Amino acid sequence: MLKINVQALRKITGAFLEEGKTVYAPRHLGMGDFAFDRIENPDEFQIEGFVNTLLPPKEIFFRQMETIGRFGWKEEGLCEDVEPEIEDKVLLGIRPCDLEGLLLIDAFYDRVDADMPYKRRRKKTFIIAYACPEPADTCFCVETDSGPWAKRGFDWQLHGLEEGIYLLEVGSEKGRELADRFADLMEKAHDGDLELLEAKRKETLGKFKKRPYIKRGIGNIKKVGEEVYRYLGDRCFRCGGCNYLCPTCTCYNVADIGTRRGERVLFWDSCQFEGYSRLAGDLNLRPDQGSRLKFRFECKLAEWNTETYGRIRCTGCGRCIYTCIGDADIDLFLKKASET
């Protein structure tokens, strides 16, 4: 392990920016709100002092709404594709749950042969993860094996020792190369640092709310009765937030906006909408909200996920819990599932 402080990190970020890389990092928007966004200068980022950003960094690759084509009749049959910008990217400060989310979306796209903006953007991304020191009470990554520190998928991972001082863990060949390149901005970690890290990790784990029902609930998923889904279905008001904010949701829809002149847009979709599963003639595979919730929970937690992806597709980020405008979140579901 190496050791680095925040000033050095800013210098390195400055170097990245100078080389023309685009850097995405959390930024304080004011009043305690943080967002992952493109930064223009190295002073702009703030990686600690908050739990996580509201939008998962998946938004950088898989946009909430993006134009993929333009058309127009008047403009002599205008019909053109709009290509996503491809940049050399650095993702700085991504949390372990969200990193695991990206890896799961990668795996999803590895299975399909579509030329999606996500795939193009995802190439050439240098990932600097940040191990979480302090969970929110909605976080449960410890139960889903995706945090509070990352075990895979990063080039570097930062572990806070004290404010502004981190241990830097190298996680890839590319990471090794860059660590060598910036060697004069880092030092070797001492035994004392590693001991401190161990103590910090223990402390962090102790801060998680105990949720023994999560693993039990996941184990029971096949057995959950219809009455649980009906109960939750009555408590979902169809905002779509649980899907929009989920770092592993991949669903999108494509629509043409405008008639004579307009754009083809690709945008986030949610399986919680009635229209998501509506077929011609108003047939619906999932006619009530309970069946839609069942579909969502199975998409995240059912066994076939482990067969296909090697793990469940919930990374315990907790976003679908706090954003729910009803009372139909995954935590409540797993509580109920654990009781069946």
Residues in contact with other proteins by CB under 8 A are 27, 29-35, 37, 54-55, 59, 63-66, 234-235, 237-241, 244, 253, 255, 257-259, 261-263, 265, 267, 269-270, 273-275, 278, 282, 319, 322-327
**Rounded to an integer, what distance in angstroms lies between the CA atom of residue 295 and that of residue 269?**
14
Position 251 contacts ligand SF4 (CB under 6 A): yes
Question: Which of left, alpha, beta for 282 (phi over 0: left; psi -120 to 50: alpha)?
Answer: left
Q: Could you say which DSSP state residue 93 is in?
A: E
Which residue from 58, 125, 316, 334 is in contact with ligand SF4, where contact means CB under 6 A?
A: 316
**Rounded to an integer, what distance in angstroms lies between the CA atom of residue 204 and that of residue 168?**
18
Taking the complex as a whole, how short is the minimal distance between the CB of residue 298 and ligand SF4, in angstroms? 9
Stretch of 13-21, 27-35, 156-164, 264-272 contacting ligand SF4, by CB under 6 A: 264-272
| H or E segment to which residue 17 belongs | helix 6-18
Indicate the SS3 state at residue 267: strand
Position 147 contacts ligand SF4 (CB under 6 A): no
Q: How many CA atoms lie less than 13 Å away from 125 in the CB half-sphere? A: 26
Q: Which does 64 bind (CB under 5 to 8 A by kind): ligand SF4, other proteins, none?
A: other proteins
Position 299 contacts ligand SF4 (CB under 6 A): yes
**Rounded to an integer, what distance in angstroms lies between the CA atom of residue 250 and that of residue 105?**
7
- Cis amide linkage into residue 148, ω under 30° from 0: yes
Give the interface size with ligand SF4 as a residue count (CB under 6 A): 34
**Rounded to an integer, what distance in angstroms lies between the CA atom of residue 150 and that of residue 249?**
20
| Beta-carbon contacts of residue 320 (< 8 Å; ≥ 6 apart) | 241, 242, 243, 245, 246, 329, 330
Taking the complex as a whole, how short is the minimal distance between the CB of residue 113 and other proteins, in angstroms? 26
**Rounded to an integer, what distance in angstroms lies between the CA atom of residue 335 and that of residue 136?**
19
Position 324 contacts ligand SF4 (CB under 6 A): yes
Chain residues 191-250 in contact with ligand SF4, contact rule CB under 6 A: 236-243, 245-250
Q: Which does 282 bind (CB under 5 to 8 A by kind): other proteins, ligand SF4, none?
A: other proteins
Q: Which does 54 bind (CB under 5 to 8 A by kind): other proteins, ligand SF4, none?
A: other proteins
**Rounded to an integer, what distance in angstroms lies between the CA atom of residue 262 and that of residue 73?**
9
Spatial CA neighbour of 246 closest among 320, 137, 333, 140: 320
Q: Which is nearer to other proteins, 157 or 250 (CB)?
A: 250
Pull the structure tokens for residue 232. Answer: 């939750």
Position 338 contacts ligand SF4 (CB under 6 A): no
Pull the structure tokens for residue 3. Answer: 């050791």
Taking the complex as a whole, how short is the minimal distance between the CB of residue 289 and ligand SF4, in angstroms? 8
Q: Which does 300 bind (CB under 5 to 8 A by kind): other proteins, ligand SF4, none?
A: ligand SF4
Q: Which is nearer to ligand SF4, 219 or 258 (CB)?
A: 219
Residues near ligand SF4 (CB under 6 A) are 236-243, 245-251, 270-272, 296, 299-300, 314-320, 323-326, 328, 330
